[in-house]
Chain A
Amino acid sequence: MRTWVLGVTFAGALLLGGWFLPKWLTFLITMAAANGMVSLGIVMLMRGGVVPFGQGMVFAVGGYTAALAFNRFAFSDAMGLALTGGVAATLVAVPVAPLLARYRGIFFAMLTLALSMVVYGLLTKTTALGGSDGFNMGRPTLMGMKLPDAHAGYVLYAVTVALATLLALAARAHFDSSRGLLTLAVRDNELRVEYLGGSVRRAMAANYLLAAFAAGTGGALVVMSLGHVDPNFSYWTTSGEFVFVAILAGWQSVLAVFLASTVLEVVRSFSSAYFPNTWQLALGLFLLFVIRFLPRGLGSLWIRRSGQ
């Protein structure tokens, strides 16, 4: 209950504060929240001991689905598009989840990477989807209302903050659930989980599907904010950035994921403005610093022990 009150209060403060923030900052927070959803899914998998290097795939599926639904089917509701992206990504993940649930460690990481690069290749070669250039989408609506120029950015910001909050609270509930605890146990000792009657593969597959939903929703929100989608959504460097945020955050705290995502967006924005050719260097140094001094991520600053 306390978590829900804190979450809703924090979201309310962001929604209220967003009205007064400069546009560049609301855009930055929008991107951080949307990308943070993808990393939240990765954290969900990390709690089970696996790290996917191909979440760009489901991120792209969410993004392309939202853009296509808008352009081809005139479905323009922002909330609906975001959820459609999430559902589409989950559906794409359904056939691969049982396969991925069999693998661990580097094999899991490489398999997800391979899948994302296959999707990248397909998107690049599919001219109906704009090929390597991708395609644009127009401005979404919200509950049947067109968004005025002056407030479109804020409305998308509000939708993203609201969905990110819901997803964060759901993730917290999941982490604290029986299944969430089981996931931590899988990370520790799979053999024992099976001998206690728990299904390791089912737990891992379910986590992958949840992560896909989060990534698809995030992808749809990013596309709505950018007004453009292209195959780079599924490129390995995009997946790498999501993993970067997940490692930066650690696997203990949901809030830390969004904080880490914001840190990445801030570093990316300012570094690319002031030293455009070396901003990745700044990111790398920052990650080294975190790994050295906060090996359990930013979340460990306020969560002392695992499983809490």
Chain B
Amino acid sequence: MSVVLSARGLGKSFGAVVAATDIGIDILTGERVSLVGSNGAGKTTFVNMITGYLKPDCGRILLAGQDITPLTPRAITRLGVARSFQIPQLFSELTVLENMLVSVACQDDQWSFVRPARSTSAVVRADALLERFRLDEHRARRVAELPGGVRKLLDIAMALTGRPRLLLLDEPTSGVSAEEKFPIMDTLMTALDGDALTVLFVEHDMDIVQRHATRVVAFASGRIIADGPPTQALADADVRRYVTGEPAEG
């Protein structure tokens, strides 16, 4: 498998607070990597640096060998990196379908001044994703009326309209009730199954991590403290101490 994303020597500080130190990682195509760690460990900072929201103080980020460190979020998105947000970033005045159509419109070329937003091809593309995420029943509802779990799924479905090669999900189940968490993740991962897509997701629920991740990267105090298959990484003594809060064995 080829390397889709590489980070080399990434560092980021906010004044005296060190959010990332010497982060180095290779992500392979098709992996489902869970980023775990306590609050302030540096997970979201890492995601924000990959997507261009934050610029690292040092180090480089390579997407399939191309240096994306200095690029804007938009340029990085156009290269195939999509993301969802911890708090879903939607267009609350618009309907679910219109939100999807905006996502489709964002992929359009500059002559989109005259192309109807509701062109058949755009609606078909939007509907296909809504169906994949089981959101079709909410198609005509305004976003402001949607429950939290549906918003989360819509946020992710929108990110997929650009057919990305790397998808970053920032806490896809945060703010969602305990009963909704597993169905949402199951729907999400089933929807992603068809694509040769690499997924990085920040997650606090270790049951979800064990169920859906093929690899776990654990963060503490801005550093990577463990990296490996879920069973191995979650059994690591440092991970048990700093992340899961369980007493270390032995």
Listed in ascending order, the chain A residues whose CB lies under 8 Å from chain B are 173-174, 176-182, 184-185, 187-189, 191-199, 202, 206, 305-307
Contacts and interface: CB of A to CB of B under 8 A. Distances in A.
B126 to A, nearest CB: 11
A196 B98 contact: no
Nearest to A174: B113
Main secondary structure of the interface of A (DSSP, over half): helix
A177 B142 CA distance: 20
A196 B118 contact: no
A196 B78 CA distance: 8
A193 B114 CA distance: 19
Given A188-B91, A192-B91, A197-B107, A180 B117 contact: yes
Nearest to B102: A185
Q: Which of A174, A192, A194, A206 is most buried by chain B, counting CB atoms within 10 A of its CB?
A: A192
B129 interface: no
Contacts of A188: 91-94
4 shortest A-B CB distances, which residue pairs? A198-B106, A178-B112, A178-B105, A196-B106
Nearest to B83: A195
Interface in B68-91: 72-74, 77-78, 82-83, 89-91
Contact of A198 (B74, B83, B116): B74
B168 to A, nearest CB: 10
Contacts of A173: 114, 116
Category for how many chain B residues contact A: 35 or more
Q: Which of B77, B82, B89, B95 is most buried by chain A, counting CB atoms within 10 A of its CB?
A: B89
B90 A192 contact: yes
B45 interface: no
B102 A197 contact: no
Contact of B74 (A180, A187, A197, A305): A197
Contacts of A181: 98, 101-102, 105, 117
B94 A185 contact: yes
Contact of A196 (B77, B94, B95, B117): B77
Interface in B44-80: 51, 72-74, 77-78
A180 B98 CA distance: 12
B180 interface: no
B89 A191 contact: yes
B112 A179 contact: yes
